Amino acid sequence: MNTTFKTVASSNISISELMLPSHTNFSGKIHGGYILSLLDQIAFACASKFSGNYCVTASVDTVNFLKPIEVGELVTMKACVNYVGNSSMIIGIRVEAENIQTGKIKHCNSSYFTMVAKNKEGKSVAVPGLILSNLNEVRRFYNSLKQIALKKERDYHEEVFDYSSEESLTNIKKYNVQLELKKSK
């Protein structure tokens, strides 16, 4: 068990960037891939700040694009550690876009990244324990526990589900697919 603990607030980090025409996709909105790149950067910074170590992205658990981001808006990303394991951390990130002329702010994205702390040799290292200081932090921690349980359930289902059974192949026909399976030799 870890004897060092740090507050969620000690992990808080935010970045802001003005969205430029070079960040757009073909429909003129800010490209989701560009936002994902910024999300990965802030997740790294947040996890590294909290753990005191180099951190790598283990998984991008959730990325919910809620509203499009426009050219000229000021995007602010706020990140904090929501959960810690032995060497892993779940980083919660909120993305807001502000129309700098009107001051109107919209919530555009919520994301959760699992980051792992590494030493100089690339081995996973222990991270500090987490001090939860308010009920909002407790809520985020419990939501992370639910995310972990759902991920384990999904992984277990993938391992044991027989996709090639007669029942599975019959049931799939109720969806908008057509089976044209080639016989294996």
CATH number of 106's domain: 3.10.129.10
- Number of domains within the chain: 1
173 within domain boundaries = no
> Chain centroid to CA 70: how far?
22
Mean pLDDT of all residues in 127-136: 97
pLDDT of residue 42: 98
Q: What pLDDT shows up at residue 2?
A: 62
| Mean pLDDT value across residues 156-177 | 83
Instruction: Give the pLDDT confidence score for residue 185 in this predicted structure.
Output: 66
Between CA 130 and CA 137 the distance in angstroms is 10
pLDDT at 157: 73
Evaluate whether 115 touches 80 at the Cβ level (below 8 Å): no
Residues 137, 134, 35, 90: is their CA dihedral positive or negative? negative
| 125 within a domain of the structure (yes/no) | yes
Residue 38 domain boundaries: 5-132
Token look-up 């430029």 returns 20
Question: What pLDDT, on a 0 to 100 scale, did the predictor assign at position 164?
Answer: 83
* Section 93-102 average pLDDT: 98
Q: What is the pTM of this model?
A: 0.87
23 is a domain residue: yes
Taking 3-state DSSP, the helix, strand and coil percentages for the chain, each rounded to the nearest 5, stand at 35, 35, 30
CA distance 177 to 23: 36
Parallel, antiparallel, or unpaired for β 73-84 and 13-18?
antiparallel
